Amino acid sequence: MNPIRLIAADEWRLMRRNRVAMLGLVMLLALSVIAALTSIAQRDNSDAIRARFQAQADQAFDGAPARHPHRMVHYGHFVFRPLPALAAFDPGVDAFTGNTIYLEGHRQNSANFGDVRQSSLLVRFGQLTPAFVLQALAPLILIFIGFGIVARERERGTIRQLFAHGVAPRALLFGKALGLGGIAALMLAPGVLALGWLIAFEGAPLAPSLTLLAGYAAYLGIWVLLIVIASSLAAHARTALMALIGIWAFTVILLPRIAPDVALATNPTLTRLETDIAIKEDLRKMGDSHNPDDPYFNAFKQRTLKQYGVEKVEDLPVNYRGLLAVEGEKLTSKLFDDYADRQFAAQKAQSRFTDTVGLLSPAIALRRLSMSAAGTDLEGHRRFLSQAEGYRFAIVQQLNQLQATAITYDDDSNRNKDPEAGRRVRIDPKNWQKVPDFRYQAAATGEKLQAALPGMLTLLGWLVVLGFGMRLAIRRLADAA
Amino acid sequence: MTGLWRHELRLFLRQRLALPALALMALLSIASVWAGMAEIERQRDTIARIQPQQAADVAAIAKWVSVEGDAGNAAYYTFHATWDEPSALAFAAIGQRDVAPYILRIRALGLEAQLYESENYNAELALPGRFDWAFVLTYLAPLFVIVLLHDLKSGEREAGRIGLLAAMARNQQALWRRRIGLRIGGLLAALLIPFLIGAALSGASPGLALIFIVVAAAYILFWAMLCLWVGSRGWSSVTNAATLAASWLVLTLILPALGNLAINSVVPVRQGVELTLEQREKVHGGWDKPKQETMQAFFKAYPEWKDTKPVEGGFHWKWYYAFQHLGDLAAAPQAKAYREGLEARDRWTGRFGFALPAVGLQTILHRTARTDLNAGLIYQDRIRSYHKQLRRFYYPYVFNEVPFREADFVKAPQWEHR
């Protein structure tokens, strides 16, 4: 057997006898299993509830009675964001974003009922998911198990015996790394099983799942190397322990919290209230539909009359009120898109900043990779918001078109005075069934992988740097020997 | 006596980890206070910034609505701003203020469709939690306690000085008390002085600041006791450090996360979505129901408008606002159940706080700073009562068909700034 494997096997034999190490490992594995089971159950449950609510909303819309189409514009629709299968591994921002939006004419509502606002502050301690266990807890347990892996040998003087027996410093360190890497692989096992389950039974996409696996493996690999290097360079096991806990606290707990503060301060975004007011203000400037002499809507009227070659709106073959509704919605929707684009751009800049900080923290880089591959990052939520807005615009315009074509201008104008006209403007409810249902299009695999790439590159960069660190540690050991 | 203390201080500061640890603790405390104050300042600025924008928006609506003077239009198109001022201590424990809206515009239509709106925030930034003083105290300070105390006795034993110390000290108990006192005192000073400066600058009431100080001291003391207890087992420094760090992991990360899992499965809340679906059906069903039926149901809640002119024709604002309100009444049971679910979750968290120091600490800090889930619910209560004022303000115009003029816009009830 080659010396590296021998050293690793020896390390495993020792660890089996180390009660503290075994306790830590068993605890982590138990947590991983609990996290995987509850996370999968919770994902399935949430997704089923959302699907049920979506079906209920679709049914309510299709089953609405005969109404004026503009009533249906205000009745609106609800859409729910489905939860991807991989959210069972890393729910990402799901709890922090609302998962349902009420869509109606003239207005853009927010996505509501995110879990965070429905939970006590306990949720801010972190949610127990496979991602959280592997990102935050596994490195710390690895530190407890491995901080003395080389330093202990030196403190007891056994390292000299090893060298005397002809073990090269290189073989020693790589053997130790292999030994600790085996433990890390064991820690990853429940996560691998969970991913396997998600692929086999819940339709999780293969390539993003493998990317997740590779990312977490690289991340734990980084910690294994860090621990071996620190344990090798430190004078005492205790110094190594302190230094490693310090690095962990800094990169896993502290930096991920500081980076958002800086990002928010440097890239402020408008609140909903300000956006709302700004859109209304812009709208008034573009054209005021309440003003009978408004230049914009007068020009629209002249254009329409000319197009149909008639003198008065009463003579139009279509209902002018419907056309006005179509035009008005076009204006507001354009503004909604503009402001949303600006908001997303600012948020993207904020996230880019934290990604840059992620160069210093493998945990931040891994989180980016993990959320992107799982499809639970902010981009996933943005997709939902913009698809929901697209859908809102489409159904509102479909209903406005119905108002223009299925109802006469005369009836529409007299619907509140003449009961007969009032009856005629309530059109056949079969029209509601012709409105398509909302289908959320998740990001394609290629897009997910591309979004995960920067995180992956950062992790690989760390591995390369730590490779040099290993060389340094080996040289130091060789000098000492 | 002071000589002994000064001597211990010199010894303590000469230790390799002591001064850097205290300096780092002070630095983190200062940074968190600064970051928290900056965030709360930003929130106050936002609240101040929206006032003129809001006034301009109302003025623009008043301009065209007052031409016809239709009160129904005034109530329909005018949004009224509400906001939840941060308390003076919010800077130290930002809590849910980064994910729950602290400004919201409402109008006199059905409230249940407006009350649960969210803010536009970057969820990726909210995910890891804010860097505030409560975070430094809850998560980081215990690690510093561990660094300073894990080798108090074992370090001396490993250096071979323990026997010497026992022989030399006139009073062994006093010696250890001095050493512990210095370390914990230094740490508390590093933590609390920046907080006190922040509290003074924010104009916090001394009584509430005192609550912060007392619970912070108690929390640090808990960790100190734990360190001393582990230290008294006679293990090596390195075993002490590993045991204590593992306890930290279990007490501040693992058990709270398990607790959250347990609470969410014991108290599921999905009435939020149910109530909005229900409210929409009721409100829009109003258009299809006989008007008299709607009006009779409304008069049960507001008999004072029973004798006003009956609704005729296809549309009247009275009828419109009547079924808006009936939608809220129909959703009231779910709204109540939803709220009770949230309160139950909050209550369970409080119970966990008795067993888990980190949870207990966070509960007290955020309750005192009024930044917890409960504070959000209180804000919702204030919005509810303001909404009622608004409706009561518009109803006389709508039901008595009184013209609504430009001067009437300023008569609308204003949100009370706390």
Q: What is the ipTM of this complex?
A: 0.91
| Range 113-152 of B in CB contact (< 8 A) with A | 113, 116-131, 135, 139-140, 143, 147, 151
- What's the whole-number mean pLDDT along residues B53-66? 94
- What's the whole-number mean pLDDT along residues B4-15? 79
Residue B272 — very low, low, confident or very high, per pLDDT cuts 50/70/90?
confident
Which residues of chain A does B60 touch, with a Cβ-Cβ cutoff of 8 Å?
Answer: 280-281, 284
Rounded to whole angstroms, the Cα distance separating A132 from A142 reads 15
- Of the listed ranges A52-61, A317-326, B265-274, the least confidently predicted one is B265-274
Residue A1 — very low, low, confident or very high, per pLDDT cuts 50/70/90?
low
A49, A96, A273, A413: best mutation site toward chain B, by most B Cβ within 10 Å?
A: A273
Q: How far is CA B64 from CA A75, A286, A418, in A?
A: 26, 16, 28
- What's the whole-number mean pLDDT along residues A403-423? 92
Reply yes or no on whether the pLDDT at B185 is more than 80.
yes
Q: Is A125 close to B359, i.e. CB distance below 8 A? A: yes
Name the maximum alpha-carbon separation found in chain A.
107
Contacts of B139 (CB under 8 A, 6+ apart): A253, B252, B358
**Phi–psi pair at A337, nearest 5 degrees:** -65, -45
Reply yes or no on whether the pLDDT at A256 is more than 90.
yes
Residue A109, H or E segment: strand A107-112
Which residues of chain B does A290 touch, with a Cβ-Cβ cutoff of 8 Å?
Answer: 64
pLDDT value for B45: 95
Q: How far is CA B349 from CA A122, A340, B262, in A?
A: 7, 36, 10
Rounded to whole angstroms, the Cα distance separating B410 from B417 reads 17
Q: Is A126 close to B257, i.e. CB distance below 8 A? A: yes
pLDDT value for B161: 84
Q: DSSP string of B357-376?
A: HHHHHHHHHHHHTT-SHHHH
- CA-CA-CA-CA torsion for A265, A266, A267, A273, nearest 10 degrees? 30
- Of the listed ranges A217-221, A272-276, B197-201, B266-270, the least confidently predicted one is B266-270
Based on its alpha-carbon atoms, the radius of gyration of chain B, rounded to whole angstroms, reads 29
How distant is the Cα of B364 from the closest Cα of chain A, in angstroms? 11
Residue B417 — very low, low, confident or very high, per pLDDT cuts 50/70/90?
confident
**DSSP state for residue B152 in the 8-state scheme:** T
* Helix (H), strand (E), coil (C) string for B26-91: HHHHHHHHHHHHHHHHHHHHHHHHHHHHHHHHHHHHHHHHHHHCCHHHHHHHCCEEEECCCCCCHH
Instruction: Assess contact for A143 and A227: CB atoms under 8 A.
Output: yes
How distant is the Cα of A71 from the closest Cα of chain B, in angstroms? 8
| Range 289-348 of B in CB contact (< 8 A) with A | 313-315, 341-342, 345-346, 348
Specify the number of domains making up chain A.
1
Residue B1 — very low, low, confident or very high, per pLDDT cuts 50/70/90?
low
Amino acid at A231: S
Q: Is B239 close to A347, i.e. CB distance below 8 A? A: no
Residue reference for tokens 């369970």: B348
Each residue's pLDDT tens digit, B199-257: 999 999 999 999 999 999 999 999 999 999 999 998 888 889 888 988 999 999 999 99
Each residue's pLDDT tens digit, A345-371: 999 999 999 999 989 999 999 999 999
Chain A contact for B241 (CB, 8 A cutoff): yes
Of A53, A119, A126, the CB nearest to B264: A119
pLDDT value for B156: 85
pLDDT value for B241: 87
Amino acid at B231: G
How distant is the Cα of B79 from the closest Cα of chain A, in angstroms? 10
**Phi–psi pair at A240, nearest 5 degrees:** -60, -45
- Of the listed ranges A72-76, B97-101, B308-312, the least confidently predicted one is B308-312
**Phi–psi pair at B284, nearest 5 degrees:** -80, -20
Which residues of chain A does B136 touch, with a Cβ-Cβ cutoff of 8 Å?
Answer: none
Reply yes or no on whether the pLDDT at A232 is more than 70.
yes
Of A122, A237, A241, the CB nearest to B259: A122
Chain A contact for B229 (CB, 8 A cutoff): no
Specify the number of domains making up chain B.
1
B41, B118, B383: best mutation site toward chain A, by most A Cβ within 10 Å?
A: B118
Q: DSSP string of B168-194?
A: H-S-HHHHHHHHHHHHHHHHHHHHHHH
Q: B1 or B124: whose pLDDT is higher?
A: B124
**DSSP state for residue A136 in the 8-state scheme:** I
Rounded to whole angstroms, the Cα distance separating A175 from A2 reads 10
Instruction: Give the CA angle between residues A320, A322, A326 to the nearest 5°.
Output: 115
Residue B81 pairs in a beta bridge with B105
Of A75, A148, A242, the CB nearest to B284: A75
Each residue's pLDDT tens digit, B103-148: 999 999 999 999 999 998 999 999 999 899 999 999 999 999 998 9
Q: Is A123 close to B276, i.e. CB distance below 8 A? A: no
By C-alpha distance, the chain B residue nearest A60 is B281
Give chain B's mean pLDDT: 92
Domain that residue A370 falls in:
3-480
Is residue A79 helix, strand or coil? strand
Which residues of chain A does B359 touch, with a Cβ-Cβ cutoff of 8 Å?
Answer: 122, 125
Instruction: Sort residue A71 into left (φ over 0), alpha (ψ -120 to 50) or beta.
Output: alpha
Reply yes or no on whether the pLDDT at A198 is more than 90.
yes
Q: Note the helical H segments in B203-316.
A: 206-231, 237-249, 255-266, 271-285, 291-301
Q: Which of A155, A74, A402, A460 is nearest to B236 (CA)?
A: A155
Contacts of B407 (CB under 8 A, 6+ apart): none
Q: Is B38 close to A265, i.e. CB distance below 8 A? A: yes
Q: B138 or A155: whose pLDDT is higher?
A: B138
Chain A contact for B355 (CB, 8 A cutoff): no
Rounded to whole angstroms, the Cα distance separating B81 from B75 reads 14
Which residues of chain B does A31 touch, with a Cβ-Cβ cutoff of 8 Å?
Answer: 254
How distant is the Cα of B232 from the closest Cα of chain A, in angstroms? 18
Instruction: Assess contact for A282 and A272: CB atoms under 8 A.
Output: no
Chain A contact for B245 (CB, 8 A cutoff): yes
Instruction: Sort residue B310 into left (φ over 0), alpha (ψ -120 to 50) or beta.
Output: beta
Q: Is A257 close to B128, i.e. CB distance below 8 A? A: yes
Which residues of chain A does B38 touch, with a Cβ-Cβ cutoff of 8 Å?
Answer: 261, 265
What the block records as the tokens of B30 is 């200062």
Q: Is A121 close to B123, i.e. CB distance below 8 A? A: no
What the block records as the tokens of B321 is 């606002």
Task: Please give the interface size between A and B, counted as residue pairs whose CB atoms are below 8 Å apart.
Answer: 255
Rounded to whole angstroms, the Cα distance separating A110 from A452 reads 27
By C-alpha distance, the chain B residue nearest A78 is B277
What the block records as the tokens of B43 is 């929130």
Which residues of chain A does B99 touch, with a Cβ-Cβ cutoff of 8 Å?
Answer: 96, 114, 116-117
Of A136, A254, A271, the CB nearest to B253: A136
Which residues of chain A does B18 touch, with a Cβ-Cβ cutoff of 8 Å?
Answer: none
Strand order in the sheet with A107-112: A77-80, A100-104, A107-112
Domain that residue B256 falls in:
1-418
Residue A413, H or E segment: helix A409-414
What the block records as the tokens of A448 is 């997910």
Q: A146 or B159: whose pLDDT is higher?
A: A146
Residue environment code for B228-260, b if the CB has 16+ CB neighbours within 10 A, otherwise e: eebbeeeeebbbbbbbbbbbbbebbbbbbbbbb
Reply yes or no on whether the pLDDT at B393 is more than 70.
yes
Q: Is B242 close to A288, i.e. CB distance below 8 A? A: no
What the block records as the tokens of A129 is 């998911």
pLDDT value for B158: 85
Which residues of chain B does A38 touch, with a Cβ-Cβ cutoff of 8 Å?
Answer: 261, 265
Q: Is A120 close to B253, i.e. CB distance below 8 A? A: no
Q: Pairing between strand A107-112 and A100-104?
A: antiparallel
Each residue's pLDDT tens digit, B145-170: 998 998 888 888 888 888 888 887 77
Rounded to whole angstroms, the Cα distance separating B29 from B200 reads 15
pLDDT value for B155: 85
pLDDT value for A481: 67
Each residue's pLDDT tens digit, A105-139: 999 999 999 988 888 888 888 889 999 999 999 99
Instruction: Assess contact for B313 and A416: CB atoms under 8 A.
Output: yes
How many CB atoms lie under 10 A from the CB of residue B292?
Answer: 11
Q: Is A113 close to B272, i.e. CB distance below 8 A? A: yes
